[in-house]
Amino acid sequence: MVDQILAHRLERGDIVLALGGGVVGDLAGFAAAIVRRGMGFVQMPTSLLAQVDSSVGGKTGINSRHGKNLIGAFYQPGLVLADTDVLDTLSTREFRAGYAEVAKYGLIDDPGFFSWLEAHWRGVFQGGRDRVHAIATSCRAKAAVVARDETETGDRALLNLGHTFGHALEAATGYDGSRLVHGEAVAIGMCQAFRFSAKLGLCAPVEAVRMANHLKVVGLPTELHEIPGGVGDVDRLMTAIGQDKKVSRGRLTFILARDIGESFIARDVDAATVREFLAEELVRD
């Protein structure tokens, strides 16, 4: 893509327009960030996941064979245009995957929004006022966090709820979207984050069950055994987790939860405890 931009002699003042889902936005945004040390950039997200998550906040990232989103830059778009009507063109699976990121905002710090989703999720899927409300609420939630911590040195890490486990699952499946798409990985990852929190005595088990039940109701996967072809063994998952961008000086960082709507950054998490938890997860029915 960079070669094409240069071959067509686009200038620094020209605009790279990302019309598509999260992958398109990340790729185009990263190209805009590095060509001529920064070109104009506009996001026009066409998937639910991109509208509520990847197009907001200025993160761009592409995958490496070593892990998810390990190559990228912080680069804010000059404009984000989200047309909710285009979401009617998505497959049910893709829309459902994006819904995982919507639910995430309730799980992080807005229990009222999560309760609203439990009551109105069908309206979000059907379209209309409920869908617009869910998208607007999600965008406001993310924008508020990004405004406090644009380059992820603090609170912005909360937006990674479910992503430490989820990114490891994506890596374990070789980023094969026929087996697991990002939103599905995040759904399972969030369930694992809550179950891990319950195992550590941080969160009541009933809350882990409640949030998983909601994701199940909308049709999202919540367990490792639901991933076609499996994800390998504990060593494979731990290797992927070790490449997580939140790792600091070799120490693991997770976003865990004390309750629905009360997530927090847990630093220096014991790797042996994570390994034990994953071994239990691999044999869950």
Taking residues 184-202, what's their average pLDDT? 99
The percentage of residues in the chain with a pLDDT greater than 70, rounded to a whole number, is: 100
Of 60-69, 110-119, 177-186, 193-202, minimum mean pLDDT range? 60-69
Taking residues 167-196, what's their average pLDDT? 97
- The predicted pLDDT at position 246 comes to 87
CA separation for the pair 214, 10 (Å, rounded): 47
Are the CB atoms for 149 and 159 separated by under 8 Å? no
- The predicted pLDDT at position 41 comes to 96
Q: Which residues are catalytic?
A: 37, 59, 101, 142, 152, 156, 160, 163, 167, 182
CA dihedral 207→211→217→219, nearest 10 degrees, is -150
Q: pTM to 2 decimals?
A: 0.91
Nearest to 95 by CA among 49, 56, 141: 49
Nearest to 141 by CA among 97, 105, 87: 105
Helix or strand holding residue 205 (H, E): helix 205-217
Domains of the chain: 2-85 (3.40.50.1970), 91-282 (1.20.1090.10)
Burial class (CB in 10 A: 0-12, 13-18, 19+), 113: buried
143 φ/ψ angles, rounded to the nearest 5 degrees? -60, -35
CA separation for the pair 267, 259 (Å, rounded): 18
Instruction: Give 57's Cβ-side CA count (13 Å radius).
Output: 28
- The predicted pLDDT at position 86 comes to 97
CA separation for the pair 16, 21 (Å, rounded): 15
- The predicted pLDDT at position 77 comes to 94
Taking residues 74-103, what's their average pLDDT? 96
pLDDT tens readout for residues 34-88: 999 999 999 999 999 999 999 998 889 888 888 888 899 999 999 999 999 999 9
72 φ/ψ angles, rounded to the nearest 5 degrees? 175, -170
